[in-house]
């Protein structure tokens, strides 16, 4: 079982959607990076991800990895946010039949999974249809 | 750089080998390659293995495998690049011989995957993805390739049936390979009615969990000629990386790392894709083979599904893809796969592939891929 530091250090991204913004070319990276893959700049500011976007693709996980065994089947997708950032998350609060490429989704703060009955509860973002 | 020849190959029957440990599977396979090459020494060994730590709780493979092959103190390195660990091991062995650093090098790949439960194996394979930003959300490897499939179907009109045809073709080929884990045919209906794993991918779209190893002996081509060996030359080697997270790609329907690695390998060989007669590619999922045939230039962009439907990639087609049965039927012991692809191409170029022989094959290509294409390794082989 990982120590809490592993999830604790991701809190700015998972709870608050903090991204890095390259001072050289304006590229928004999520998660933040130390060097820009586009212009090579090492200078970054901070920005917050756009809260909504549209699904580029999706799937329904029927055979889950261990920590998600009690959640299957569940949908996961990649969305392109309105600021151009692309990211992966579960798609919740919708019927599987309503999933389609181009579906508008908003990011919401949700419980992602739990490490057993006494372990850490992991929170993060999920996509919810607008 | 010296020309490099493959002078020996080894592969044992793949499957769920409950009675055999990682070290035994490796050593039995390596001995076959050493005997096939007829060499009395090896100067160095390189072993591809993705995750012995998670699958059997064993690291430090260089030492253990040199030991159990009875070859200490030869230098031995373990190479990891997820599911392209084997291909990368081959490339490192190639570089070692080409550079003049070593003469006779054993390149092997091995994975022992059935010492853990299916759930644990799914987790171990998942470590090839971005753990914090893909795995964290409950994504699996079938899930990632399923998302590539959905995007490809949406953009190009690739059909569910075309995905199934990849599995049918590869099982047809695999039914002629006695070393395959699943040497039998499947029908389109069987694929379409098999259980869903990650929509739209079903269990018969997925390569299996497998125990197995493969090995190749490399040496300078001049030395091979002096030894009066049949020379199968590694004419080109290319590798490229891409972002680890699928979401970071410019286009999730295109495998850029394979495109780039293939261009490098073909340029080194001075060949075009049309000059080659067989292709062993990384069909970890049916959609993967469709996308790889596009990245290699066998099919036009977006037309990989049509290529399999029209028989272009069948054993008797213009571009035979996965005559061995591919990962789908032969099995996919992840670290061994890239080396096994080389074993198949070498056997084919020697004319020793039995019922699945591609007639008159003189040149072939292997394409081995890590994760969702975060790394690709391509090699071009030529018979002299």
pTM: 0.98
| CA quadruple B48, B54, B55, B58: dihedral sign | positive
CB atoms within 10 A of CB B220: 18
- Determine if the peptide bond prior to A73 is cis (ω within 30°): yes
In degrees to the nearest 10, what's the CA dihedral of A70, A75, A76, A79? -150
Nearest to B229 by CA among B44, B69, B9: B9
Measured CA to CA, the distance from residue B354 to residue B253 in angstroms comes to: 36
Measured CA to CA, the distance from residue B310 to residue A123 in angstroms comes to: 48
CB–CB contact B133 A62 (8 Å): no
pLDDT on residue B130: 96
- pLDDT tens-digit map of B352-361: 999 999 999 9
ipTM reported for the complex surpasses 0.95:
yes
Would residue B83 show up in a list of annotated catalytic residues for this protein?
Answer: yes
CA B115 to chain centre: 22
Count Cα neighbours of B372 within 13 Å in the Cβ-side half-sphere: 28
Q: Are residues A44 and A54 in the same domain?
A: no
CB–CB contact B140 A63 (8 Å): yes
Measured CA to CA, the distance from residue B365 to residue B296 in angstroms comes to: 10
Do residues A61 and A37 make contact, with C-beta atoms less than 8 angstroms apart? no
Q: Are residues A85 and A41 in the same domain?
A: no
Q: Which of A10, A61, A126 sits opposite B143 (nearest CB)?
A: A61
Measured CA to CA, the distance from residue A107 to residue A18 in angstroms comes to: 13
- pLDDT tens-digit map of B86-130: 999 999 999 999 999 999 999 999 999 999 998 889 889 999 999
Residue B318 near chain A (CB below 8 Å)? no
Residue B199 near chain A (CB below 8 Å)? yes
CB–CB contact B133 A87 (8 Å): yes
Strand, helix or coil for residue B217: strand
* Chain B neighbors of A122, CB-CB under 8 A: 136
Q: Are residues A80 and A60 in the same domain?
A: yes
Residue A84 near chain B (CB below 8 Å)? no
Do residues A28 and A82 make contact, with C-beta atoms less than 8 angstroms apart? no
Q: Are residues A25 and A39 in the same domain?
A: yes
Count Cα neighbours of B172 within 13 Å in the Cβ-side half-sphere: 15
Domains observed in chain B = 4-117+210-232 (3.40.47.10), 128-207+235-383 (3.40.47.10)
- pLDDT tens-digit map of B125-150: 999 999 999 999 999 999 999 999 99
Do residues A69 and B119 make contact, with C-beta atoms less than 8 angstroms apart? yes
Q: Are residues A56 and A3 in the same domain?
A: no
Q: Are residues A19 and A74 in the same domain?
A: no
Q: DSSP class of residue B244?
A: S
CB–CB contact B122 A78 (8 Å): no
* Chain A neighbors of B132, CB-CB under 8 A: 10, 31
Q: Are residues A43 and A58 in the same domain?
A: no
Q: Are residues A104 and A75 in the same domain?
A: yes
- pLDDT tens-digit map of B160-193: 999 999 999 999 999 999 999 999 999 999 999 9
- pLDDT tens-digit map of B34-46: 999 999 999 999 9
Residue B250 near chain A (CB below 8 Å)? no
DSSP-assigned beta bridge partners for residue B217: B8, B106
* Chain A neighbors of B138, CB-CB under 8 A: 61, 64-65, 67-68, 71, 74, 76, 90, 112-113
Taking CA–CA distances from A87, the nearest residue in chain B reads: B247
Q: Are residues A109 and A76 in the same domain?
A: yes
Mean pLDDT of chain A: 95
CB–CB contact A57 B151 (8 Å): yes
Nearest to B119 by CA among A66, A109, A40: A66
CB–CB contact A76 B119 (8 Å): no
Measured CA to CA, the distance from residue B17 to residue B35 in angstroms comes to: 23
Beta strand residue intervals within chain B, DSSP E:
4-11, 44-48, 76-79, 105-111, 196-198, 201-202, 212-220, 232-241, 278-280, 363-370, 375-383
Output the CA–CA distances (angstroms, integers) from residue B186 to A17, B166, B172, B191, B357, in the order listed.
Answer: 46, 11, 8, 7, 21
Mean pLDDT of chain B: 97
Token output for B109:
């790949």
pLDDT on residue B252: 96
CB–CB contact B197 A76 (8 Å): no
Measured CA to CA, the distance from residue A57 to residue A55 in angstroms comes to: 6
Residue A111 near chain B (CB below 8 Å)? no
For residue A1, name the pLDDT band (cuts at 50, 70, 90).
low
CATH code, A87: 2.40.50
Q: Are residues A78 and A26 in the same domain?
A: no
Query: In which domain, by residue range, is A8 found?
Result: 1-48
* Chain A neighbors of B122, CB-CB under 8 A: 63, 65-66
Residue A127 near chain B (CB below 8 Å)? no
CB–CB contact B119 A69 (8 Å): yes
Token output for B199:
């929509």
Taking CA–CA distances from B155, the nearest residue in chain A reads: A101
Residue A107 near chain B (CB below 8 Å)? no
- What are the CB-based long-range contacts (under 8 Å, 24+) for B152-160? B152/B253, B152/B287, B152/B290, B152/B291, B152/B302, B152/B305, B153/B200, B154/A57, B154/A101, B155/B253, B155/B302, B156/B253, B156/B302, B156/B303, B156/B305, B158/B287, B158/B290, B158/B302, B158/B304, B158/B305, B159/B305, B160/B192, B160/B200
* Chain A neighbors of B120, CB-CB under 8 A: 66
The H or E element that residue B103 is part of is: none
How many helices (H) and strands (E) would you count in chain B? 14, 11
How many structural domains are present in chain A? 2
CB–CB contact A76 B138 (8 Å): yes
CB–CB contact B198 A113 (8 Å): no
pLDDT on residue A2: 75
Q: Are residues A4 and A59 in the same domain?
A: no
- pLDDT tens-digit map of B200-234: 999 999 999 999 999 999 999 999 999 998 899 99
Q: Are residues A55 and A19 in the same domain?
A: no
Chain B closest-CA separation from residue A19 CA (Å): 13
Measured CA to CA, the distance from residue A88 to residue A112 in angstroms comes to: 13
Catalytic residue, from B152, B171, B332, B379: name it.
B332
Q: Which of B119, B151, B245 sits opposite A65 (nearest CB)?
A: B119
Nearest to B148 by CA among B376, B381, B378, B371: B371
Token output for B368:
């081995």
Residue A76 near chain B (CB below 8 Å)? yes
């Amino acid at each position: 079982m990982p120590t809490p530091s592993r999830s604790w250090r991701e809190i700015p991204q998972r709870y608050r959607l903090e991204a890095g913004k390259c001072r050289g070319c304006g590229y928004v990276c999520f998660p933040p990076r130390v060097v820009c893959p586009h212009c090579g700049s090492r200078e970054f500011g901070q920005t917050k991800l756009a809260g909504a976007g549209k699904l580029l693709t999706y799937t329904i996980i029927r055979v889950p990895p261990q920590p998600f065994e009690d959640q299957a089947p569940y949908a996961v997708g990649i969305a392109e946010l309105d600021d151009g950032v692309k990211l992966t998350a579960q798609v919740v609060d919708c019927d599987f039949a309503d999933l389609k490429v181009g579906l508008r989704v908003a990011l919401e703060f949700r419980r992602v999974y739990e490490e057993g009955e006494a372990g850490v509860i992991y929170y993060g973002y999920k996509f919810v249809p607008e | 750089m010296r020309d490099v020849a493959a002078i020996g190959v080894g592969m044992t029957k793949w499957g769920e080998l409950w009675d055999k440990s990682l070290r035994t599977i490796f050593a039995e396979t390596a001995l076959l390659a050493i005997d096939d090459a007829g060499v009395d020494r090896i100067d160095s060994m390189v072993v591809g293995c993705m995750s012995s730590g998670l699958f059997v709780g064993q690291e430090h493979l260089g030492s253990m495998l040199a030991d159990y092959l009875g070859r200490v103190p030869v230098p031995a390195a373990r190479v990891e690049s997820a599911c392209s660990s084997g291909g990368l091991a081959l490339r490192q062995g190639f570089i070692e011989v080409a550079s003049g650093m070593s003469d006779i090098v054993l390149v092997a790949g091995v994975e022992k995957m059935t010492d853990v439960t299916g759930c644990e194996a799914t987790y171990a394979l998942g470590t090839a993805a971005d753990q914090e930003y893909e795995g964290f959300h409950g994504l699996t490897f079938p899930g990632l390739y399923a998302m590539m499939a959905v995007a490809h179907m949406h953009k190009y009109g690739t059909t569910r049936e075309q995905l199934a045809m990849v599995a049918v073709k590869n099982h047809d080929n695999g039914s002629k390979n006695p070393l395959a884990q699943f040497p039998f045919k499947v029908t389109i209906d069987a694929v379409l009615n098999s259980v869903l794993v990650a929509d739209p991918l079903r269990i018969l779209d997925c390569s299996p969990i497998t125990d197995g190893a493969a090995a190749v002996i490399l040496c300078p081509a001049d030395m091979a000629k002096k030894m009066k060996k049949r020379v199968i030359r590694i004419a080109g080697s290319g590798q490229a990386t891409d972002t680890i997270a699928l979401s970071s790609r410019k286009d999730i329907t295109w495998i850029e790392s394979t495109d780039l690695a293939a261009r490098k390998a073909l340029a080194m060989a001075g060949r075009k894709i049309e000059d080659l007669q067989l292709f062993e590619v990384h069909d970890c999922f049916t959609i993967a083979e469709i996308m790889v045939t596009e990245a290699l230039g066998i099919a036009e962009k977006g037309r990989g599904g049509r290529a399999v439907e029209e028989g272009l990639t069948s054993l008797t087609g213009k571009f035979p893809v996965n005559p061995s049965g591919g990962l789908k039927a032969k099995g996919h012991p992840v670290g061994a796969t890239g080396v096994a692809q080389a074993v198949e191409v070498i056997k084919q170029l020697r004319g020793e592939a039995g019922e699945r022989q591609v007639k008159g094959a003189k040149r072939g290509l292997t394409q081995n891929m890590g994760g969702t294409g975060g790394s690709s390794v391509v090699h071009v082989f030529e018979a002299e």
